[in-house]
Structure 1
Amino acid sequence: MEGFSAVGFCAPSAIPEAAGRLAAFVAAGRHGQMGWMAERMAWRGDPAALWPEARTVIMLAEVYSPGYDPLAVLAQKARGAVSCYAQGRDYHDLVKKRLKRLGRWLIEAARKVSVPAEIKVFVDTAPVMEKPLGQAAGLGWQGKHTNLVSRDLGSWFFLGAIFTTLDLPKDEAETDHCGSCRACLDICPTGAFPAPYQLDARRCISYLTIEHRGPVDEELRPLLGNRIYGCDDCLAVCPWNKFAARARETGYAARVGAPDLAELAALDDAAFRARFAGSPIKRIGRGRFVRNVLYAIGNSGLSRLEPAARALCSDPDPAVADAASWAVARLADTRRD
C-alpha cells in the first residue's frame, strides 16, 4: 500500500470536539507566533467545512522510527541535537507523493465500477487536524504529550490524509491507553505541558527552535541544551515504543547526524542552503537555525567554542547577534563558576 504502515477511515464529521479544543488553545495564547492556527479556524476545526463534498477521510501512517537512542546526543555538548524526523529527506515531499499515487489508484478503481470519485491529499501543510482524525480513524490515540501513539507502531510515524467523495466504510476510533504513565510529561525540559493532554507551544522546544521568530526568552534558553532543531524527549520515553515498527523508507535514514556546533555557526546563507537542501531544516532559514546553534554553544560550557560565538556578535540578523552575545556571556559565566 505505497509503503504506508497503517490505514484507517473516518467521516469528516468524526471529530466534533476538535473545534472547541482548538478555540480554547488559541484563546489562551498557547499557539504563540503560529498565527496560521488562528486563521481559518473554521476549516481546521471542522474537516466537513474544509471540503463539504468529502464523505470519507482516509488516514495513513508512515513510520520513521530511528535505529538509535535519540536522547544520547544530549550529552555531546559540542554537537547539536536534531529531531529524528528531520534527519533525512523532507517527509512532506515523500509522503505527499505516496498519497497522490494512492489517490490516483483509488480514483481509477472507482472508475472501473462506474463510480465517480474525487480526492484531496494533505500532509501537515493545510488546515487539517491530522492527530484527532488519526484517532477517529483508529490509527492511535493522542497521548498525554498530545502526539498520536499506536499500540502497533509506537510514536514514530508521520500522518497523511486523503479526503474523498467516496463514502467508504469507517473504522472505530481508538481509545486511550496511557493509563497512569506520565513519562512524557516528566521528561519535558521546559515544562511545556500545563496538564496531561495539554500543550503550551510557547514553552515547547520544537516550537521554540522551529516556529518561533526572533530571540527566545532568556529564561528558556538554558533549558534548550544542545537541541538545535526540534525535540524528541517526550516521544523517546513513551513505553509504547517497544512495539515501534522499523522504518521502510530509506529516505528517512539519518544523514544530518549530530553536527559540530562550531562548524554550523560558521554557515552563511548559501552554505546553510546547500548543506540542508532537501531537508525540512532548510525551511526555517539560516538566521533562526544559527540562533539555535548559538544557544547550544552558550549551554555547552566549552570555552573552546567561544570564538565561534564571538564572531557573530555583529551579525546582520539581530536574533543571531543577540544569541551570539548571550552565548559569549554565558560561557564567561561558566568559566567563573
Structure 2
Amino acid sequence: MSAPAPSPPAGIDYAALAADIRRWGAELGFQQVGIADVRLAEDEAHLLDWLQAGYHGSMDYMARHGVKRSRPAELQPGTLRVISVRMNYAPADIGEAWSVLRDPTLGYVSRYALGRDYHKLIRSRLQKLAERIAAVTGPFGYRAFADSAPVLEKALARNAGLGWTGKHTLLLNREAGSYFFLGELYTDLPLPVDAPVSAHCGRCTRCIDVCPTQAIVAPYKLDARRCISYLTIERREAIPPELRPLIGNRIFGCDDCQLVCPWNRYAQAATEPDFAPRHALGSSRLVELFAWSEEEFLARTEGMAIRRAGYEGWLRNVAVALGNAPYSGEVVAALQARADHPSALVREHVAWALEEQRRKRGQP
C-alpha cells in the first residue's frame, strides 16, 4: 500500500484537489474525509508520558517504533499531509447491546467486531483513493494505513476536523458519535489542511463512571491494563483474578463507555454491507460458544476481528463469562467438559469459573 516518493508535482490546484478528494472519498464509502498536517508535538509528549506510566501493559508494539508514531515523516519519508477518513460501523439496532449485557447467559462482543475485519477493507479503499489522486497529479508519494502501523490515528483525525477526543480517549463526532473506523493516507502533496473542531464533552463524566474496571483513571487518560478490551483482545496471559468478576459477560471487547455517551444518540448505522453482524454473534449463548472446537472457531470467525483473540484466548474469555453467570447445571457441565483442556491458560480460567459456580450454589 505504498509508493515511492517523487517530488510533488507542480502546477496543481491543491484546493480543488482537496475538494475532489473529499468527493472521491464519499464515493468510496467514507462518511468523512479531512486533511491534517504532521505536527503532533503535544500528542508525542502525551504518548511518552502514557508509556512511562506503563499504561500500555504488554502492548510492547506501542513503544517499539519510538517516535515514528508521532512523527509521520519518519515513518513515511516525505510526508507533508495526512488524509484522514472515517467509516461508520454501528449496527442498525445498537440498543440491542444493552439487552445482551443485561443477560448473563449471553456473550457480549464489541459491536465493531461483529462484521468483517475492517483493516483490509479500509486500506483497499484508501489505495483506490490514492489511484484516483494519481490520475490527476501523476505519481506521488503515499502510504495507506488502517490501524496497521505506528500511527496516532485519533490525533491525526482530530487535527483533520473529524472530531474531538472524548474523556474516554475515543474520537467523538457531533453527527456520528464514536461508532466509526479510522484510516489514513500519508502523502507528500501540500494539500490545504482542515481546522480541528472544538470539544463538546463539557462536565459529562458518564464514560468514566460506567467503566466496569475503572480503566479511565482520569479524563483523557486510559490505563489499558484495566481495560476490558485490552484484557480480552490484546492480553495473551491470564486475566488478573481481581478483574475477572468485573468483566461480566464481555467476551471480546467492551463498549460501555460508548453506550452511555450522549453523543452516540446521533450514531449512524453502517452503510457498508461487510460490517453487518455475522453468525448471530451479537447475542449467542455462552455455553454454545464455549463448545466450539478450534475448527468451528476458525470457520465462524473467518475474516473477522475476533480472530485476534486466538482460540485459547476465546476459551479463556468465555470461561470467565461463564464463571460470572448465575449458577446452573448446564454451565457447570460446559466448564467441566473443558477442565482437562491441553492449554494451561484455559484450564486455569475454567478452574476459576467452576469455583465461582460452586460458590454461587453455596457449596464449600
- When normalised by structure 2's length, the TM-score is 0.89
Partner of 1:316: 342
Q: Tell me, in whole angstroms, the C-alpha distance in 2 between the residues paired with 1:51 and 1:83.
A: 32
Task: Summarize the alignment of residues 88-237 of structure 1 with structure 2, pairs less than 5 Å apart.
Answer: 88-111=115-138, 116-237=139-260
Q: Tell me, in whole angstroms, the C-alpha distance in 1 between the residues paired with 2:265 and 2:284.
A: 28
Q: How far is 1:283 from its partner?
A: 2.2
Q: Is the 8 A contact 2:167 2:220 kept in 1?
A: yes
Q: Is the 8 A contact 2:86 2:182 kept in 1?
A: yes
Q: Tell me, in whole angstroms, the C-alpha distance in 2 between the residues paired with 1:246 and 1:264.
A: 27
Q: Is the 8 A contact 1:90 1:278 kept in 2?
A: yes
AA partner of residue 132 (structure 2): W
Q: Tell me, in whole angstroms, the C-alpha distance in 2 between the residues paired with 1:43 and 1:260.
A: 43
Q: Is the 8 A contact 2:162 2:197 kept in 1?
A: yes
Q: Tell me, in whole angstroms, the C-alpha distance in 2 between the residues paired with 1:214 and 1:313.
A: 18
Partner of 2:71: 46
Listed one character per residue, the Cα deviations across residues 237-268 of structure 1 (whole Å, up to 9, x for unaligned) are: 11111222221101111122212211221222
Please state if 1:74 is matched with 2:97.
no
State the secondary structure of the residue aligned to 1:161: strand
AA partner of residue 51 (structure 2): V
Q: How far is 1:12 from its partner?
A: 1.4
> Of 111, 115, 127, which residue of structure 2 is paired with 1:84?
111
Q: How far is 1:140 from its partner?
A: 0.3
AA partner of residue 86 (structure 1): A
Q: Tell me, in whole angstroms, the C-alpha distance in 2 between the residues paired with 1:235 and 1:104.
A: 35
Listed one character per residue, the Cα deviations across residues 96-152 of structure 1 (whole Å, up to 9, x for unaligned) are: 1111111111111212xxxx4121000001000100001010100110000000012
The number of residue pairs the alignment matches comes to: 332
AA partner of residue 139 (structure 1): L
Q: Tell me, in whole angstroms, the C-alpha distance in 1 between the residues paired with 2:343 and 2:358.
A: 23
Could you tell me the percent identity over the aligned residues? 44
Partner of 2:311: 286
Gaps of 5+ in 2: 1-25
Q: How far is 1:28 from its partner?
A: 0.7
Q: Tell me, in whole angstroms, the C-alpha distance in 2 between the residues paired with 1:259 and 1:320.
A: 20
Q: CA RMSD in A?
A: 1.2
Q: Is the 8 A contact 1:78 1:302 kept in 2?
A: no
Q: Tell me, in whole angstroms, the C-alpha distance in 1 between the residues paired with 2:60 and 2:307.
A: 21
Q: Tell me, in whole angstroms, the C-alpha distance in 2 between the residues paired with 1:207 and 1:174.
A: 29
AA partner of residue 137 (structure 1): A
Q: Is the 8 A contact 1:80 1:228 kept in 2?
A: yes
Partner of 1:326: 352
Q: Tell me, in whole angstroms, the C-alpha distance in 2 between the residues paired with 1:188 and 1:151.
A: 22
Q: Tell me, in whole angstroms, the C-alpha distance in 1 between the residues paired with 2:226 and 2:89.
A: 25
Please state if 1:239 is matched with 2:265.
no
AA partner of residue 229 (structure 1): F
State the secondary structure of the residue aligned to 1:17: helix
State the secondary structure of the residue aligned to 1:71: helix
Q: Tell me, in whole angstroms, the C-alpha distance in 2 between the residues paired with 1:247 and 1:276.
A: 20
Please state if 1:12 is matched with 2:38.
yes
Partner of 2:21: none
Q: How far is 1:316 from its partner?
A: 1.2
Q: How far is 1:36 from its partner?
A: 0.3
Q: How far is 1:16 from its partner?
A: 1.4
Q: Is the 8 A contact 1:71 1:233 kept in 2?
A: no
Q: Tell me, in whole angstroms, the C-alpha distance in 2 between the residues paired with 1:34 and 1:321.
A: 24
Of 33-42 and 45-54, more deviation after overlay is shown by 45-54
Q: Is the 8 A contact 2:168 2:221 kept in 1?
A: yes
AA partner of residue 107 (structure 1): A
Listed one character per residue, the Cα deviations across residues 300-331 of structure 1 (whole Å, up to 9, x for unaligned) are: 01322111111112211111100100111100
